[in-house]
Structure 1
Amino acid sequence: MALNNLSQMNDIHNVDGKILDLVLTNYFSLEVTKSDYSITKIDQKHPPLLITMPEQTPHFLKPNLTPRYNFFKANYGIILENLNNINWLEEFKDCKNVNVMTSIFFRILNEIVDNNVTKTRPKNRKYPPWFSSALIKIIAEKENMRKKYAKHRNPRDRLVYELLRERSKKLISQCLQYYKRQIETNIYKNPKCFWHFIKERRGNETTIPVEMTYVGRHLKGFNSFIFFSKDDDDDDEEEEDEEVNSLKEYDESNN
Structure 2
Amino acid sequence: MELKPVRDELAVIRESMNFINSQYETIVKRLDDLEKNMKSSINTKSELGSIKDHIDSAEVDNDKREPWVRRSNVEIFGIPERKGENLMQILRDVASKAEFSLDLSQDIDFVTRVVPKNNACIYDQEIFDSRYTVYRCDRDYETRGVHLGGGVLIALRRELQVYSFSTVLMPGAAAEAIKLCVNLKSSNKSERLNIFCGHFPHCPRHFDSLLHFFESVSDVIVNNPDDGYFILGDFNISSAQWTSTDHAPYMTNSTINGDHLVQALQGFISFTDLRQYNHIFNTKNRILDLVFSKRECLVAHCKEPLIDEDPHHPALDVILKSSSPQVLHSARRVVRLFHNANYDAINNDIASVEWQILLQGKDVDAAVATFYDLINNIISKHVPIKIFRHDTRYPSWFSRSLVKIIKEKLKYHKKWKIYGRRCDYDTFSLLRDLQKRVMRECYDKFIIDAEKRIKINSKYFWTFIKSKKYSSDLPETMFFDDETSGEGNNICSLFNSYFHSVFEPPVWQSFIPDYSCKWYKYHWQNSFQD
The TM-score normalised by the length of structure 2 is 0.26
Higher helix proportion: 2
Structure whose CA Rg is larger: 2
With the length of structure 1 as denominator, give the TM-score of the two structures: 0.47
